[in-house]
Amino acid sequence: MKIVVLDGYTLNPGDLSWAGLEELGDLTVYDRTVFDRSNDNLIIERIGDAQIVFTNKTPLPREVLSKVPNVKYIGVLATGYNIVDIEAAKELGITVTNIPTYGTDSVAQMVFAHLLEICHHVAAHSDAVKNGEWTNNVDWCFWKYPLIELAGKTMGIIGYGRIGQAVGRVAQAFGMKVLANDKYPNKDLESDTLKYVELDELLANSDVISLHCPLFEENKGMINKDSIAKMKDGVIIINTSRGPLIVEDDLAEALNSGKVYAAGLDVVSTEPIKADNPLLKAKNIFLTPHIAWAPKESRQRLMDIAVNNLKQFLEGSPVNVVNQ
């Protein structure tokens, strides 16, 4: 049985092992598969006569799937699976799986990495000290930006699934109150410091808003000029979910005007980020290159789940199937 990984480098740049997949078949791993939507030939060529295909971001549209008749299984090396035409795969008898829960703690941690940087500007103050500003300061301490305490403030969390709940637990540990918005609220989670609310109430009453909802056509661009207008002046926005949830021109305008005090984003609308993205020149913006998922521990869990997904498929009891 032939197994092909189309773009394995981001999952395993060399610090993990492919041994689990090697035990299951004849494995070929490509670091990257450069693709052009007008020409899918390289993807088709690399899949060849393989029965098993793994992809992270290399797209597998109907046009590709229809030309690789041996493929029986596609393992998406991520939670989001919009890169695969799952309807076409179903029609062609191809099982598609994803990795649903590997990065919960890592993503929650990144939310607070961004938020604490916004509150304390640790990097900027460290640079200032190294550049001699403390040595030459007339007082025993100084700060170059307003410093913010989180205790007593309210965090609004849009999307209160596994990751949203993990973020909520950390927020409450910091002494924050949590307003949660979710299509399927779990009222058992409510307490003195957590309640479910409608989206407009969340927007109006949150000091910090963190996005943790999947991307669908109906919520694309949900953070826009109109929704920002409903927010508190000086709100902080964090997005570790999906870039297209935000209309970037509108967020940049709100940052530059001061309506939004700061934003911490690990995702943008097009990745890698384009040179003309308006957020690159916006005020008080903190950008990281989609790394919330990437601690080694998180990637190892992803690898382990990917291997188990394939094992379960081969044994006739597939799990984490997204196109049943």
Residue from 22, 23, 190, 271 carrying the catalytic annotation: 271
Active site (annotated) includes residue 120: no
Nearest alpha carbon to residue 118 among 272, 265, 277, 292: 265
Q: Which helix (H) or strand (E) holds 20?
A: helix 19-22
- Level-2 CATH architecture, domain 2-102+296-314: 3-Layer(aba) Sandwich (3.40)
Domain layout of the chain by residue ranges? 2-102+296-314, 104-287
Note the pTM of the prediction, 2 decimals.
0.93
Active site (annotated) includes residue 212: no
Residue from 46, 242, 299, 301 carrying the catalytic annotation: 242
CA distance 234 to 34: 41
- Please determine whether the domains at 2-102+296-314 and 104-287 fall in the same fold group of CATH: yes
Active site (annotated) includes residue 62: no
Cα-Cα-Cα-Cα dihedral sign, residues 315, 321, 323, 324? positive
Using CB atoms within 10 Å of the CB of residue 300, give its burial: 0 to 12 exposed, 13 to 18 middle, 19+ buried. Answer: middle
Q: Characterize the bridge pairing of strands 194-196 and 177-181.
A: parallel
pLDDT in tens, the chain (324 residues): 999 999 999 999 999 999 999 999 999 999 999 887 777 899 999 999 999 999 999 999 999 999 999 999 999 999 989 899 999 999 999 999 999 999 999 999 999 999 999 999 999 999 999 999 999 999 999 999 999 999 999 999 999 999 999 999 999 999 999 999 999 999 999 999 999 999 999 999 999 999 999 888 999 999 999 999 999 999 999 999 999 999 999 999 999 999 999 999 999 999 999 999 999 999 999 999 999 999 999 999 999 999 999 999 999 999 999 998
Q: Characterize the bridge pairing of strands 52-55 and 2-5.
A: parallel
- Level-2 CATH architecture, domain 104-287: 3-Layer(aba) Sandwich (3.40)
Give ∠ CA 250-159-106 in degrees, rounded to 5.
95
Using CB atoms within 10 Å of the CB of residue 243, give its burial: 0 to 12 exposed, 13 to 18 middle, 19+ buried. Answer: buried
CA distance 78 to 151: 34
